[in-house]
Chain A
Amino acid sequence: MKKKTQDELLVDHNHDGVDRRGFLKCMAWAGTGALCLMNGGVLRSAGLSGISGSAARAKGELSFAQISDSHMGFNKPANQDVVATLKAAVDKINALPNPPEFLLHTGDISHLSKPEEFDAVEQILKSCVAKDVFYVPGEHDVINDDDAANYMQRFGKGATGMGWRTFEKNGVRFFGLVNVMNLKAGGLGSLGSEQLEWLGKELRPLSASTPIVVFAHIPLWSVYPEWGWGTEDSAQALGYLKRFGSVTVLNGHIHQTMQKVEGQVTFHTAASTAFPQPQPGKAEGPGPMKVPADQLKQLLGITDVNFVRGQKALAIVDPNLG
């Protein structure tokens, strides 16, 4: 074993390039806004202040931010001013050391699929430095039958089917997936055969070295099926992604940050900008979690993502609003 420096974690217990003990330690730091960078299987951490001096400023970089679960229209005790907290999230984004080029919104934009709720979110996001926003719907955005069509009409430009889309930024391929339509009784999130077929077709011509980012509302891995925190048919999608050297999956829905690394795939969920939810199994149900007013903003947040060419994993940081 090499001699350890302060921030390096070098023990590869399972011989798969991931230092698990170090990973867990890094995740503990991540809760305080630390940055975990993986370079060739070695995890290094840096405080937020260290980012500006890092390799993130190198040529060929890509910087974007993710927000999720704004639930515009929610007004219960857990947060009676979701407008203010969304505005605080925009302020946070605007103050990031690497200004994001665009935003991903991973759904539950509205709380009750109402037009005025969508209008309010779009209006608030206009003051963000990132002018382009790519949305995917959450289940709260398509509650009633005609809401799916209304969603497509509002956010469907450049999208196919029921709102899925793909685009490229600086050599990174993005896939916005929709897993909240046609949900069946007793089921979890669902991608459906039409979307899976589309995804397979889009991925086929790409070289394995193309960095891929997939974003969807409900987690594409099984976080907690008892609360519907998973996607039934994600295995097929993950099968298509298996051959790629760098895959990042960004989700929302669970209103807390969580991360899992499996081989070349990093799964990550963002916090909500509206209200937190309990950790899996720690409450009767996955509903809004009331916390003392002075703690609320610490449990809401945004996700800042930076890509540096040559590094396998994207650098993901979750600054909270507190």
Chain B
Amino acid sequence: MKSSCKCVYAVSVLAIFVAATGFLGKAPGREEATSSAATAQIKIDNFAFSPTELKVSAGTTIEWINRDDIPHTVVSDDKTTFKSKALDTDDKFSYTFTKPGTYSYFCSVHPNMTGKIIVQ
């Protein structure tokens, strides 16, 4: 092969290689989490959290929605990690669980209403 052709050939191979790795770099498995954060919903109705126990991955935002005809609250057992204001019918409360662990919570108005979030 003539030297000018070799050069062109090498650049072409390099270009294809860069393009190929560039393409691989954009594969879904390596995308940043911020563009599609995980969310989950918990319904409050008939004096109960539904589901009562929920497993989610770290970084998930859980939204509680009150479908009951009585106000409720969502308060972590330690009363500091998360605490909603009074939620009347159709009111919502959200919290993002960044750290793995087990989070027990209850309704501070009706304390026998309890729930648990397991963050993995």
B70: nearest chain-A partner, CB-CB: A287
**Would A187 and B111 be within 8 Å (CB), given that A111-B71, A112-B88 are in contact?**
yes
A50 to chain B, nearest CB (A): 39
Size range of the chain A interface in the assembly: 20 to 34
**A287-B69 contact given A185-B77, A185-B114, A188-B112, CB 8 Å threshold:** yes
A225 to B111, CA, bound (A): 11
Contacts A184-B111, A185-B77, A185-B105 given; does A287 touch B47 at CB 8 Å: yes
Interface contact A183-B111, CB-CB below 8 Å: yes
Chain B residue, CB-CB nearest to A228: B112
What are 15 of the A-B contact pairs (CB < 8 Å)? A76-B69, A76-B89, A112-B88, A139-B109, A140-B71, A143-B108, A143-B109, A144-B85, A183-B108, A185-B114, A186-B112, A227-B112, A228-B110, A285-B48, A288-B70
Which residues from 41 to 70 on chain B have a C-beta closer than 8 Å to any C-beta of chain A?
46-48, 68-70
Q: When chains A and B are docked, how far (Å) is the Cα of A143 from the Cα of B68?
A: 16
Q: Does A226 contact B (CB under 8 A)?
A: yes
Q: Which of A66-88 contact B (CB under 8 A)?
A: 76-78
Across the A-B interface, how many residue pairs have beta carbons closer than 8 Å? 62
Residue of B with least CB distance to A286: B47
On chain B, the number of residues with a Cβ less than 8 Å from chain A's Cβ atoms is: 23
Interface residue? A168 (CB, 8 A):
no
Give the distance in Å from the alpha carbon of A284 to the alpha carbon of B68 in the complex.
12
Which residues of chain A have C-beta atoms less than 8 A from B83's C-beta?
Answer: 145
CB distance from B84 to the nearest CB of A (A): 9
Say whether B114 contacts A144, CB under 8 Å.
no
B86 and A287 contact, CB distance less than 8 A:
no
Q: Hey, which chain A residues are within 8 Å of B70, CB to CB?
A: 287-288
Whether A187 contacts B71 by the Cβ 8 Å rule is no
B106 CB-CB contact with A under 8 Å: yes
Residues of B within 8 A of A187 (CB): 111-112
The residues of B that contact A140 with a CB separation of less than 8 Å are: 71, 109
Instruction: Let me know if A113 is at the binding interface, CB within 8 A.
Output: yes
Shortest distance between the CB of A220 and any CB in chain B (Å): 17
Complex formed: what's the CA distance from A227 to B73 in Å?
16
Question: Which residue in chain A gives the minimum CB-CB distance to B75?
Answer: A185
| Cα-based distance from A285 to B106 in the complex (angstroms) | 16
Cβ B89 vs Cβ A188 within 8 A: no
Closest 9 CB pairs of A and B: A285-B47, A185-B106, A143-B86, A183-B111, A76-B69, A228-B112, A285-B46, A187-B111, A284-B46
Q: Which residues of B contact A78 (CB under 8 A)?
A: 69
Residues of B within 8 A of A143 (CB): 71, 73, 85-86, 108-109
B120 within 8 A of A: no
Q: Are A227 and B71 in contact (CB under 8 A)?
A: no
* CB under 8 Å from chain A, chain B span 12-64: 46-48
CB distance from A70 to the nearest CB of B (A): 15
Check if A228 sits within 8 Å of B111, measured CB to CB: yes
Bitwise interface map of A from 212 to 229 toward B, beta carbon under 8 Å scored 1, else 0: 000000000000011110
B92-120 interface with A by 8 A CB criterion: 104-106, 108-112, 114
Smallest distance from the beta carbon of A202 to chain B beta carbons, Å? Answer: 27
Query: Are A186's CB and B69's CB within 8 A?
Result: no
A145 to B59 Cα, complex, angstroms: 28
- Nearest B residue to A185 via CB reads B106
Q: What is the minimal beta-carbon distance from B43 to any residue of chain A, in angstroms? A: 14
Give Cα A145–Cα B109 distance, bound, in whole angstroms: 12
The answer to whether A188 and B71 have CB atoms under 8 Å apart is no
Q: Please determine whether A186 and B46 come into contact, CB atoms closer than 8 angstroms.
A: no
Closest chain B CB from A192 CB (angstroms)? 14
Given contacts A76-B69, A185-B106, contact A144 B86 (CB under 8 A): yes
* B70 to A: closest C-beta gap in Å: 5
**Which residues of chain B come closer than 8 Å to A183, judged between CB atoms?**
108-109, 111
The residue that A77 contacts in the complex, of B69, B108, B110, B112, with Cβ under 8 A, is B69
- Indicate if the CB atoms of A226 and B112 lie closer than 8 Å: yes
Chain B residue with minimal CB distance to A283? B46
